[in-house]
């Protein structure tokens, strides 16, 4: 078995499906009905799944069916009373042999569960290989309580693992300063700053175009200390769900990005081995855009230097946490802080943004109060 992400040559009804997951057996035939499930679920009318979502579904199903194949298990088999079925065996193998976290196991399991629900709906199986348990959700009261309507009953598959209470991983101002001191590469410093101070995802930062950068000192409508509104367009860069949005770049960071683009980036661009030109702002030392796993590697090396975990997405969480905190405290801000942060992050639903409220409400006051001016002070000339 193998998983292949289609190239631009996969065209169906005049549409290109580059990046779509293909599950193939040793004869390069599609593994059914898993492949049919992917087509029907991910490409159904109205769906706006990203290539990353496609890949996640493909990897999870490939992992499950590869496990079944290696252990001669039938995905349709119903477990005998008191014995473990293929789904439970896969779960226990993922947790025990692979030592994956409960959260990671459940993320994969939920996709496989959806496959089984689809198989039941399409009459490929007669019963589901799991039961459902009813649980009661208790939304947090307080700020944005208008989003909640009291206790909510929901059902969850009983094959999922119990997850310990998870907090959103973010870094403090002191850790941010420590990280910057441990990043010697100037390009990597700016990458770190851009994600930390605007909430960009790593794929958005990797593909952030040079043409968005300019010299703010030449704009009479801008002043030092101002936030500069930049409109992100999926035609220019990779954005989740191809959804345009606006971000606010601090004036001093725009100055640094412009200096990088006109000086440092130009030197890197001259190192390219051919005549290729690239639109992305950040280039490697060879003059090419950063690859898909490059930022993960950069942050892994940073983690080893500072001796605590730092991941690219933590910078996005950090930005959202301190921005929401500062806007809630501000007497000058006009509007709904939660909606403003939602728009900057590009969340489809305000309920996704509301998870940061839970983090803020559970942080000890002294921890957050150290950062009333949150992250901008870290980069000011006064520090």
DSSP characters for 252-270?
HHHHHHHHIIIIIHHHHHT
Question: H or E stretch including 365?
Answer: helix 365-369
> Closest Cα partner for 160 from 136, 137, 130?
130
Coil, helix or strand at residue 4:
strand
Coil, helix or strand at residue 134:
strand
pLDDT tens digits for range 23-82: 888 888 888 999 999 888 776 655 556 677 788 889 999 999 999 999 999 998 877 766
Q: Is residue 345 over pLDDT 90?
A: yes
pLDDT at 77: 85
Q: Is residue 294 over pLDDT 50?
A: yes
Q: Is residue 383 over pLDDT 90?
A: no
Percent of the chain with pLDDT over 90: 45
- Average pLDDT of span 163-192: 86
Q: How confident is the model at residue 365 (pLDDT cuts 50, 70, 90)?
A: very low
Helices (H), 307-349: 312-329, 337-345
Q: Which residues contact 309 (CB under 8 A, 6 or more apart)?
A: 169, 303
Q: What's the DSSP call for residue 102?
A: H
Q: Is residue 146 over pLDDT 60?
A: no
Q: List, in order of start, the domains of the chain with CATH numbers.
A: 2-129 (no CATH), 173-379 (1.10.443.10)
CA angle 279, 194, 328 (to 5 degrees): 135
Q: How confident is the model at residue 90 (pLDDT cuts 50, 70, 90)?
A: very high
Strand spans (E) along the chain:
2-5, 11-12, 15-16, 21-24, 132-137, 152-157, 227-232, 245-250
Question: Do 182 and 299 contact (CB within 8 A), yes or no?
Answer: no
Q: Is 224 left (phi over 0), alpha (psi -120 to 50) or beta?
A: beta
Q: Report the alpha-carbon distance of residue 122 to residue 100 in Å, rounded.
A: 32
Alpha carbon separation from 160 to 7, 42, 157 (Å, rounded) = 34, 23, 6
- Average pLDDT of span 303-323: 91
pLDDT at 167: 64
pLDDT tens digits for range 149-168: 444 445 678 888 877 655 67
Q: Report the alpha-carbon distance of residue 73 to residue 254 in Å, rounded.
A: 56
Q: Say what the pTM is.
A: 0.65
Q: How confident is the model at residue 10 (pLDDT cuts 50, 70, 90)?
A: confident
């Amino acid at each position: 078995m193998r998983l292949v992400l289609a190239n631009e040559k996969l065209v169906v009804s005049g549409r290109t499906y580059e990046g779509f997951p293909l599950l193939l057996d040793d004869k390069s035939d599609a593994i059914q009905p898993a492949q049919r499930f992917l087509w029907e679920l991910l490409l159904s009318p109205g769906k706006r799944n990203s290539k990353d979502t496609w890949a996640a579904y493909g990897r999870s199903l490939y992992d499950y069916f590869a496990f079944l194949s290696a252990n001669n298990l039938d995905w349709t088999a119903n477990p005998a009373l008191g014995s473990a079925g293929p789904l439970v065996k896969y779960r226990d193998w993922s947790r025990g042999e692979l030592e994956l976290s409960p959260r990671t196991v459940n993320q994969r399991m939920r996709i496989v569960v959806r496959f089984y629900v689809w198989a039941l709906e399409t009459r490929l199986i007669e019963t589901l290989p799991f039961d459902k348990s009813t649980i009661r959700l208790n939304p947090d009261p307080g700020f944005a309580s208008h989003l909640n309507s009291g206790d909510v009953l929901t059902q969850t598959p009983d094959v999922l693992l119990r997850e310990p209470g998870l907090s959103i991983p973010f870094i403090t101002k002191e850790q941010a300063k420590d990280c910057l001191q441990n990043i010697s590469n100037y390009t990597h410093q700016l990458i770190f700053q851009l994600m930390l101070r605007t909430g960009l995802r790593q794929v958005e930062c990797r593909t952030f175009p040079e043409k968005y950068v300019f010299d703010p000192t030449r704009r009479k409508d801008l002043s030092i200390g101002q936030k500069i509104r930049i409109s992100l367009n999926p035609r220019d860069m990779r954005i989740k769900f191809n959804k345009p949005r606006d971000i606010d770049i601090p004036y001093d960071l725009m100055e640094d990005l412009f200096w990088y683009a006109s000086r440092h980036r130009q030197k890197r661009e001259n190192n390219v081995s051919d005549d290729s030109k690239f639109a992305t702002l950040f280039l490697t030392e060879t003059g090419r855009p950063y690859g898909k796993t490059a930022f993960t590697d950069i942050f892994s090396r940073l983690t080893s230097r500072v001796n605590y975990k730092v991941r690219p997405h933590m910078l996005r969480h950090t930005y959202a946490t301190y921005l929401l905190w500062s806007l809630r405290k501000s007497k000058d801000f006009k509007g709904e802080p939660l909606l403003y942060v939602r728009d900057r992050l590009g969340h489809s639903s305000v309920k996704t943004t509301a998870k940061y409220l839970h983090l803020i409400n559970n942080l000890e006051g002294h921890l957050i109060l150290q950062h009333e001016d949150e992250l901008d002070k870290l980069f000011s000339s006064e520090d």
